[in-house]
Amino acid sequence: MLGLRMPTRDYDAIVVGASFGGLAVARQLRGHVLLLDRNEVGSVQTSACGTPLWVCEALGVTDSVLQVHESLSIRTPGRTVRYDLSAVPFCTFDYRAFCEGLLAQCRVQFLRTSVTGFQDGAVVTGEGRFTAPVIVDCSGWRRAVTGGAEPATGRLHSFGLETHTPLQDEGLTFLLDRRLIPQGLGWIFPVGQGSLVGLGSYVGRSKLKPPLERLLRDHGLSGGSYHGTYFPNRLLRPTVGRLFAVGDAAGQCLPLTAEGIRPALYFGGECGRIVQRVLDGALSLEAGLDAYRRVVVRYRRPYRVLRLAQWLAAHTPTGWFALVTQVAATRPFLSGWWPRYGWFGRPKPTGLPAVT
């Protein structure tokens, strides 16, 4: 039987993935833009959704905030270190409300369909083949467009699993305990009503349900539904041929802290602004790809520092690492590094805004 040829349609730009990275790109774009995701926007949460409060404020989605956190505890078997975050408070937010808020700011056509690859210059989907001069892969760690035949997992990825629990009043907490998880960390993220409790493996170990259930039992809890996935732990290529990649698709999740939302939003905003200049004819596609690569390369060193810190967290005795975190939490040190970390991606006082 002869196969039917899928239709080819043309857009100015195609953005694959409508989560943090994809929405941050799409909200910068005007023109005939197609935004693709296999799920409805905001319907499948994979993250604990913790980020600095200013991120929600800068993006105009403060309504999504569930709880504000002005301190963070790092608990190890030997000591608990408390960080004062009041200089840059964190928050946990509602994924659906956050994403729907961003989508409302976009002037693009959204289509729910699964992308199966990139062939002969076209994005191949369950609804047909779509072409555009500019294509941005924001499909997360699977890299649906830029990944090609490369294996998705392995040493490039960490893995996280979490569940919602009724736990209240524990505060924002990271748990460093080799008995719980040998090369990784646990977390308790209060979200207004209850808390998300999870475990992350820096070495991509995905069988985390048994240790997570043990952790829950220790707190007298049982889990509801679990969600989790891989996330990258090192920078990957921000462009592949004529394709842009943003967020986890470009390995932009921060090592050690596993904060991937802010980088996806920040680099997504930068990428979107560059793409719009390409669509306006102010930049050639080659110059746009080069400009975006240069934005990302500027951050190579901080990513390396965080990767080193992640390696130390995974490979040095917990007591020693806890001592380092305690020193880092004291006044002269904390005020030296915390605002620099916490303000990464914030709108600049002059010039073009960043996360916005």
The contact set with ligand FAD (CB under 6 A) reads: 16-22, 36-39, 44, 46-51, 114-115, 138-140, 142, 144, 160-162, 198, 228-229, 231, 247-249, 253, 258-262, 264
- Per the listing, tokens 């909200």 go with 27
The number of beta carbons lying within 10 Å of the beta carbon of residue 220 is 8
Nearer Cβ to ligand FAD (160/272) = 160
Decide whether 160 or 269 has the Cβ nearer to ligand FAD. 160
Token pair of 62 as six digits = 């403060």
Amino acid at 190: P
Q: Judged by CB, which is closer to ligand FAD: 210, or 351?
A: 210
Side chain identity, residue 342: G
* Minimum distance, C-beta of residue 22 to ligand FAD, in the bound complex (Å): 6
Q: How far is the CB of 240 from ligand FAD (least distance, A)?
A: 15
Tokens 């408390």: give the residue: 82
Least Cβ distance, residue 255 to ligand FAD (angstroms): 11
Closer Cβ to ligand FAD, 161 or 296, answer by number: 161
Judged by beta carbon, residue 16 or residue 74, the one nearer ligand FAD is: 16
- Comparison of 47 and 76: residue with beta carbon closer to ligand FAD: 47
Q: How far is the CB of 231 from ligand FAD (least distance, A)?
A: 5
Burial 239-277 (b: 16+ CB within 10 A, else e): bbeebbbbbbbbbbbbbbbbbbbbbbbbbbbbbbbbbbb
Per DSSP (E only), the strands in the chain are 8-10, 13-16, 33-37, 50-52, 65-69, 71-75, 80-84, 90-93, 109-112, 115-119, 122-125, 128-131, 134-137, 157-165, 172-175, 184-190, 195-201, 226-232, 239-240, 243-245
Q: What are phi and psi of 308, to 5 degrees?
A: -65, -45
Give 160 or 288: the residue with its C-beta nearer to ligand FAD.
Answer: 160
CA distances from 196 to 53, 212, 220, 249 (A): 18, 12, 15, 25
In whole angstroms, the minimum distance from the beta carbon of 43 to ligand FAD comes to: 9
CB nearer to ligand FAD: give 109 or 316: 109
Q: Which amino acid belongs to residue 1?
A: M
Handedness of CA 276, 282, 286, 289 (dihedral sign): negative
The minimum distance between CB 42 and ligand FAD, in angstroms, equals 9
CB of 316 to ligand FAD, least distance (A): 24
Q: How far apart are CA 97 and CA 66, in angstroms?
A: 10
**Shortest distance in whole angstroms from residue 10 CB to ligand FAD:** 19
Give residue number: closest CB to ligand FAD: 260
DSSP helix/strand/coil, 288: helix
